[in-house]
Copies of this chain bind each other. A is one copy, B any other.
C-alpha cells in the first residue's frame, strides 16, 4: 500500500492527483487543481509551492511523479512553466519525497497502452482504472494519469529488485 502523488505543473493551474497502490491496482484518493490567480509572480509561485506541500501533508504520499517537458511552444512559455515546475519540485523535495519524471508519451503508454492516445482517451482510462463516475478537471486528470504511470513504473521494477522509480523514470537532471 503506497500513496503516490502525480503533479502536472502549469503557470496558471497545477493539477494534482493522489492514488493508493494496493499491489493489485490503484485506487483513487484525491485530485484537484492549484490555481495561481492573478497576483505577483512570487505570490503565484508561492501558491504552487505551498499548495503542493499542503497536498503532501494532507494525504501523505511517499513518492511523486511529475510530467517531463520536452518541448514548450517558445522560450517565454518554457520559462514560465519552468518557474512553476521549480516551485512544485522544491515543494516535493522539502517534504522528503522521492521524485521521478515521465514524458507525456510514457504517461499515455502506461495509462492508455499507446503513446499516441488523445487527451480524451487518457481521461477515459483514468476514470476506468480509478472507477470514477464523474469527469475530473483536465489538469487533475492529467495529474492522476502521471500518478498511475508512476505507480505502474514503480511496481514493474519491484520484482526485479529495482525499487526506485528514478532508474526508469529518467534521472532528474537540471
Contact = CB atoms under 8 A, between A and B. Distances in A.
Interface of A: 11-12, 36, 40-46, 49, 69, 71-87, 89-90, 92-94, 99, 101, 166, 171-174
B86 A83 contact: yes
Contact of A173 (B41, B71, B79, B85): B41
Contact of A87 (B75, B86, B173): B86
A94 B92 CA distance: 15
Please classify the interface of chain A as helix (H, G, I), strand (E, B), loop, or mixed, using the class held by over half of its residues.
helix
8 contacts: A41-B173, A42-B89, A45-B90, A72-B75, A79-B79, A80-B174, A82-B82, A90-B90
A101 B45 CA distance: 14
A90 to B, nearest CB: 5
Contact of A40 (B41, B42, B85, B173): B173
A96 to B, nearest CB: 10
A89 B45 contact: yes
Contact of A49 (B36, B41, B83, B90): B90
